[in-house]
């Protein structure tokens, strides 16, 4: 058995919460990884997984300190090394691929210079050799047109390209081990797949040890030989990937793995389409331009027709049904929602609600009754709830606006609404910051339903939530739909989540419809190449 490259033993890390009281972030964590092996560290937000990853490089965020234990890299205790030794190790034998390279690359330095800098620090090469080696590395991470890319600044690259540059920098010192801190979070599924493939190929080629931190069990399953599940600063379960993911022997780990939504196998013709209900929402050949001309453009520029961001959208949605809009970033799915809500004007086409009422393009031209019928729920509840208002005040707003309810009447109704989203009236006097992410999103849902809407627009409403919370929110939405016969337009990037809730699905790419139809049909027999590619890029825990 070969020796461990990174060996963390009984590590505790904490910070001083108030005088004389230490709050532990990591509690007696032990984990190790050998050459050629990849270990996945999985956990929800606040589990301490990123702290663990950075600690393995002898780094801690300001305020944190090591309480006990050892962190050994190739047999050396990293926290006892001199600054000079640490500088040699970091980026040399031990490389990091950070969470969001968009933020991790220095904005004022050209790509070429940043990669060359890493080379100069860790290899004894001449300037000319460094330049050619940098080019070689960027080629290795499969970037196109490397000489041009080297001259660019980080913000001129796409998210995937930035991540490739970060990988190239990590490889500069010929590392024995890589630490990957949520390396694909925020990337589209197809890009994510390419990046993970690249990392895996490189690891195999160089026989590197890898420590991969992620909240995404699919990513972990795709790459890791062994998996450690973290919960509240502790590793609650660790073992070979297959054992951990397929037969988890720990309560929390099992819950976590079960909560991951999976695409259900369906037969296209198994279910006959439900009897057609009356139409709730109809979009007829809608085209939208995302960038609105500003004052100056309107006044002075020769009004050149702008290209429509989104075009050719036709939707017919029955009462109590859901349509899922799927696509990668920039596909225009949120733009469609905003046009239905009236936040953006539709340049062409018609939007009808309840079969007959034609919605005016923007909110300031719609009547209150029309506005009431369409409500929207946003992605991030931290952003969609006014931090200065209590829950009672938040819920009172639509009640007052649409039904004229104020005072005790509004408060009683708000309490009822809380119960429909499975919260107790005890939440009425809380401020958003006194609630968890899942609770906040429930309040946001309650606020939408306070208007007794016919159509609810859901914009990636579970993607800011942890998986276990996501599952319960999705369940709530399904229950509400059945109770109130509300129709949903559900925007998401997670195919499994969309499938769970939708009756129809529309796949979008660059603002155009790629494929649309009943959800079972599209999921069973995708027609377009793009849809097939999307399905192909989906990572699930079972695919270990």
Interacting positions 156-185 with other proteins (CB under 8 A): 156, 166, 169, 173
- Helix residue ranges, H only, 331-436: 333-341, 368-373, 381-384, 391-403, 407-420
- CB of 59 vs other proteins, minimal distance in Å: 6
- Identity of the residue, 72 or 544, whose beta carbon is nearer to other proteins in the bound complex: 72
Site for other proteins in 198-217 (CB under 8 A): none
Among 303, 305, 408, 433, which residue interacts with other proteins (rule: CB under 8 A)? 408
Q: How many CA atoms lie within 13 A of 434 on its CB side?
A: 10
Furthest-apart CA pair in the chain: how many Å? 78
Region of 136-144, 200-208, 233-241, 388-396 interacting with other proteins (CB under 8 A): 388-396
| Number of neighbouring beta carbons within 10 Å of residue 460 | 19
Judged by CB under 8 A, which of 162, 214, 322, 379 binds other proteins?
A: 379
Q: How far is the CB of 114 from other proteins (least distance, A)?
A: 9
Rounded CA gap, 48 and 378, in Å? Answer: 27
Using the rule CB under 8 A, which residue among 35, 86, 123, 263 binds other proteins? 86
| CA-based nearest residue to 505, from 344, 317, 367, 365 | 317
Within residues 436-475, the interface with other proteins by CB under 8 A covers 447, 451
DSSP per-residue string spanning 311-359:
EEEEEEEETT-EEEEE--TTSSHHHHHHHHHTSS-EEEEEEEETTTEEP
What's the min distance (Å) between Cβ of 479 and other proteins? 20
109 binds other proteins (CB under 8 A): yes
Let me know: does 163 contact 96? Beta carbons within 8 Å.
Answer: no
Give every CB contact of residue 330 below 8 A, 6+ residues apart in sequence: 510
Choosing from 122, 321, 373, 493, the residue that interacts with other proteins (CB under 8 A) is 122
Cβ-in-10-Å burial (0-12, 13-18, 19+) of 211 comes to buried
Q: Tell the smallest beta-carbon distance from residue 399 to other proteins (Å).
A: 11
Nearest to 447 by CA among 369, 368, 376, 370: 376
Q: Which is nearer to other proteins, 54 or 489 (CB)?
A: 54
Query: Pattern 262-281, binding to other proteins, x per CB under 8 A?
Result: --------------------
Q: What's the closest the beta carbon of residue 133 comes to other proteins, in angstroms?
A: 16
The interface region with other proteins, picked from 7-15, 303-311, 381-389, 504-512 by CB under 8 A, is 381-389
Q: CB of residue 286 vs other proteins: minimum separation in angstroms? A: 17
Residues sharing a CB contact under 8 Å with residue 6, sequence separation 6 or more, in sequence order: 31, 32, 33, 56, 71, 72, 73, 94, 177, 209, 211
Contact call for residue 524 and other proteins (CB under 8 A): no
Question: Would you call 252 helix, strand, or coil by DSSP?
Answer: helix
Taking each helix axis from N to C terminus, what angle separates 437-450 and 391-403, rounded to the nearest 10 degrees?
Answer: 10
CA distance 533 to 327: 11
Q: Compute the least distance from the CB of residue 468 to other proteins, in Å.
A: 24
Q: Which of 243, 370 has the CB closer to other proteins?
A: 370
Q: Which long-range contacts (CB under 8 A, 24 or more apart) does 290-296 make?
A: 290/332, 290/335, 290/344, 292/344, 292/345
How distant is the alpha carbon of residue 351 from its chain centre?
Answer: 30
Rule CB under 8 A: say whether 380 interacts with other proteins. Answer: yes
- Shortest separation between residue 328's beta carbon and other proteins, angstroms: 17
Q: Under the criterion CB under 8 A, does residue 83 sit at the interface with other proteins?
A: yes
147 binds other proteins (CB under 8 A): no
Size of the site for other proteins (CB under 8 A): 78
What are the helix and strand counts (H, E) for the chain? Answer: 22, 20
**Taking CB under 8 A as the rule, does residue 434 contact other proteins?**
no
Q: Is 393 in the site for other proteins (CB under 8 A)?
A: yes
Residue (231 or 402) nearer to other proteins, CB? 402
Q: Which of residues 320-349 bind other proteins (CB under 8 A)?
A: 341-343
Binding mask 225-264 for other proteins (x = CB under 8 A): ----------------------------------------
Q: Decide if residue 506 touches other proteins (CB under 8 A).
A: no
Question: Is 132 one of the binding residues for other proteins (CB under 8 A)?
Answer: no
Which DSSP category does 539 fall into? Answer: -
CB under 8 Å to 157, separation ≥6 — which residues? 111, 149, 165
55-74 mask for other proteins (x: CB under 8 A)? --x-x--x------------
* CB nearer other proteins, residue 278 or residue 424: 424
Report which of 111, 61, 112, 58 is spatially closest to residue 82, judged by C-alpha positions.
58
Q: Which of 22, 267, 386, 436 binds other proteins (CB under 8 A)?
A: 386
In whole angstroms, how close is the CB of 195 to other proteins at the nearest point? 17
DSSP alpha helix (H) spans, 3-126: 49-55, 83-89, 101-104, 111-122
């Amino acid at each position: 058995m070969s020796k461990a490259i990174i060996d963390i033993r009984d590590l505790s890390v904490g910070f001083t919460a108030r005088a004389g009281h230490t709050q532990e972030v990591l509690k007696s964590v032990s984990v190790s990884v050998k050459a050629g092996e990849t270990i996945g560290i999985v956990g929800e937000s606040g589990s301490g997984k990123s702290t663990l990853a950075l600690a393995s490089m002898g780094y801690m965020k300001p305020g944190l300190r090591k309480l006990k234990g050892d962190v050994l890299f190739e047999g050396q205790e990293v926290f006892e090394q001199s600054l000079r030794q640490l500088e040699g190790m970091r980026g040399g034998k031990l490389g990091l691929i950070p969470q969001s390279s968009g933020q991790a690359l220095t904005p004022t330095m050209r790509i070429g210079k940043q990669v060359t800098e890493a080379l100069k620090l860790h290899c004894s090469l001449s300037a000319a050799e460094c330049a050619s080696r940098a080019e070689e590395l960027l080629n290795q991470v499969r970037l196109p047109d490397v000489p041009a890319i080297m001259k660019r600044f980080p913000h001129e690259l796409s998210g995937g390209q930035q991540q490739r540059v970060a990988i190239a920098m990590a490889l500069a010192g010929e590392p024995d081990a890589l630490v990957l801190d949520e390396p694909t979070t925020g990337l589209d599924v197809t890009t994510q797949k390419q990046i993970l493939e690249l990392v895996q190929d490189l690891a195999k080629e160089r026989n590197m040890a890898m420590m991969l931190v992620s909240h995404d069990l699919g990513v972990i399953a795709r790459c890791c030989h062994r998996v450690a599940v973290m919960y509240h600063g502790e590793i609650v379960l660790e073992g070979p990937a297959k054992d951990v993911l397929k037969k988890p022997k720990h309560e929390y780990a099992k819950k976590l793995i079960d909560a991951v939504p999976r695409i259900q196998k369906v037969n296209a013709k198994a279910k006959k389409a439900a009897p057609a209900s009356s139409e709730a929402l109809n979009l007829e050949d809608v085209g939208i331009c995302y960038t609105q001309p500003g004052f100056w453009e309107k006044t002075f520029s020769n009004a050149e027709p702008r290209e429509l961001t989104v075009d050719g959208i036709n939707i017919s949605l029955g009462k109590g049904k859901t349509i899922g809009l799927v696509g990668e970033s920039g596909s225009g799915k949120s733009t469609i929602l905003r046009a239905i809500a009236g936040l953006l004007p539709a340049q062409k086409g018609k939007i009808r609600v309840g079969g007959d009422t034609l919605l005016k393009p923007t909110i300031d031209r719609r009547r209150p009754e029309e506005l009431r019928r369409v409500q929207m729920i946003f992605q991030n509840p931290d952003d969609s709830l006014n931090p200065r208002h209590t829950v009672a005040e938040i819920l009172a707003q639509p009640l007052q606006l649409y039904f004229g309810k104020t005072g005790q009447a509004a408060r009683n109704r708000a309490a009822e609404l809380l119960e429909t989203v499975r919260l107790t009236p005890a939440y009425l006097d809380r401020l958003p910051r006194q609630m968890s992410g899942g609770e906040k999103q429930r309040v946001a849902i309650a606020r939408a339903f306070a208007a007794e809407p016919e159509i609810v627009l859901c914009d990636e409403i579970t993607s800011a939530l942890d998986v276990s919370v996501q599952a319960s929110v999705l369940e709530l939405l399904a229950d509400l739909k059945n109770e109130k016969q509300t129709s949903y337009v559900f925007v998401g990037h997670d195919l499994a989540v969309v499938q769970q809730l939708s009756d129809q699905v529309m796949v979008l790419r660059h603002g155009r419809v790629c494929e649309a139809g009943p959800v079972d049909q599209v999921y069973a027999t995708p027609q377009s190449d793009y849809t097939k590619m999307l399905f192909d890029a989906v990572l699930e825990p079972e695919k270990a």
